[in-house]
Chain A
């Protein structure tokens, strides 16, 4: 769980990937929209990064992406940063080099990650409880399901690199 415990370029290569996905999401994200529901490709990328790289790189990358989103957004500053760094840190605790997680678990954790992130953002932004519930039901949940679907496909294409066996 150390930023410098692995070869330096590997982490930064992943960071570059996430940056590329950030740009792709900003430019082409709306093309993947189905009935107005967009998948969280960036969330998926950061989730995968945190699983592969651990909590420390994860928390910094989560914060950076969140801060970028804060700067590009219109709402209160710091909401995305808070939500992203917290959730990515939690995902990073499931570092796949140390903890084995089955595919189903990863998909469920991805869903929880998306929902918790949206909830934290809504809470930090000062939305009323009723609005938060509505937001989660009508926006966050469909988007999370869509992201889970994409995540399942991605996890099948790139299986876990866990060093720990299931047993």
Chain B
């Protein structure tokens, strides 16, 4: 009895050490369980006593992981959207360039590819800035082609850029010829939107006729595709007649162009005169429109 009381007193006095001893022995005993027993103990504890803790931990973990997954998926989706838009853009550009490559063999002059950098903000369909200038051999008066047809001409060549006057510019005039009837006319835009061909009232123009450059004036080479006659007034009176024209190349959809590397014959003539000591004044207001101030 005395021994028991002594043991009790010792235990009460050294509770920390006794607890440690008990727990160490218990832990060492636990280490000797077989894997099957361990699994059953774990399963039993986790599904009963520790179930609340386990549920809280699992729920929180799932929530945080789901939040992370949603964020990651949203980021991936955004990246894929950007990539998809880029691929669509590349695909359109590829198709555009393919069409341009098909056009090249039809022209007997060297072509220089250029990219449209800007469109004039005041008159978007009046003039464009392209990324090739006189350092690439570009000169004023050179014709500018898009995959489907003529779009304009160079009116100023600077270093690294050129200003292109397009066909819808009301100041632009192009001598064209009807492929079917061989009757000539002058293509122009009265309002910057519509395109019309002005011809002799007796000229034979019918809807569906194809118009190409005539070559008169020396600015544009002969035979470049321009557009189709949409409407020809059969009851025109007076001296001249206007026919509505749809250009082959829709100007608003142009991103890349070809510059026809052929000096206009008027320019060549002017150069020859200047070389012979004559003073040259340009009278072709359509070829050189100096009223613009291109500042790309």
Does residue A109 face the partner (Cβ distance < 8 Å to B)?
no
Partner of A86, one of B15, B24, B38: B24
Known: A59-B16, A71-B45, A71-B46. Contact between A77 and B64, CB under 8 A? Answer: no
CB pair A124–B31 under 8 Å, yes or no, is: yes
Partner of B23, one of A26, A27, A70, A81: A81
Interface string of A27-40 (1 = CB under 8 A from B): 11000000000000
CB pair B50–A71 under 8 Å, yes or no, is: yes
Does residue B20 face the partner (Cβ distance < 8 Å to A)?
yes
Select from chain A the residue with minimum beta-carbon distance to B65: A27
Does residue A112 face the partner (Cβ distance < 8 Å to B)?
no
CB pair B28–A27 under 8 Å, yes or no, is: no
Nearest-neighbour CB distance to chain A for B21, whole angstroms, equals 10
Question: Using Cβ atoms and an 8 Å threshold, which residues of chain A touch B23?
Answer: 59-60, 63, 81, 85
Question: Using Cβ atoms and an 8 Å threshold, which residues of chain A touch B20?
Answer: 55, 59, 85-86, 89
CB pair B46–A82 under 8 Å, yes or no, is: no
What is the number of residues of chain B that contact chain A, defined by CB distance less than 8 Å? 25
Does residue A56 face the partner (Cβ distance < 8 Å to B)?
yes
Interface of A is mostly: helix
CB pair A68–B24 under 8 Å, yes or no, is: no
Does residue B1 face the partner (Cβ distance < 8 Å to A)?
no
Interface string of A10-53 (1 = CB under 8 A from B): 00000000010011001110000000000000000000000000
CB pair B30–A78 under 8 Å, yes or no, is: yes
Range class of the A interface residue count: 20 to 34
Nearest-neighbour CB distance to chain A for B14, whole angstroms, equals 10
CB pair B15–A63 under 8 Å, yes or no, is: no
Bound together, the chains give a CA A55 to CA B49 distance in angstroms of: 26
Does residue A116 face the partner (Cβ distance < 8 Å to B)?
no
Question: Using Cβ atoms and an 8 Å threshold, which residues of chain B touch A55?
Answer: 16, 20
CB pair B56–A23 under 8 Å, yes or no, is: yes
Nearest-neighbour CB distance to chain B for A122, whole angstroms, equals 13
Nearest-neighbour CB distance to chain A for B28, whole angstroms, equals 6
Question: Using Cβ atoms and an 8 Å threshold, which residues of chain A touch B26?
Answer: 78, 81
Question: Using Cβ atoms and an 8 Å threshold, which residues of chain B touch A114?
Answer: none
Select from chain A the residue with minimum beta-carbon distance to B43: A71
Bound together, the chains give a CA A63 to CA B61 distance in angstroms of: 25
Interface string of B150-161 (1 = CB under 8 A from A): 000000000000
Partner of A76, one of B38, B50, B64: B38
CB pair B64–A27 under 8 Å, yes or no, is: yes
Does residue B80 face the partner (Cβ distance < 8 Å to A)?
no
Sampled A-B contacts (11; CB under 8 Å): A2-B15, A26-B60, A26-B61, A27-B61, A60-B23, A66-B27, A71-B41, A76-B33, A76-B38, A79-B27, A86-B24
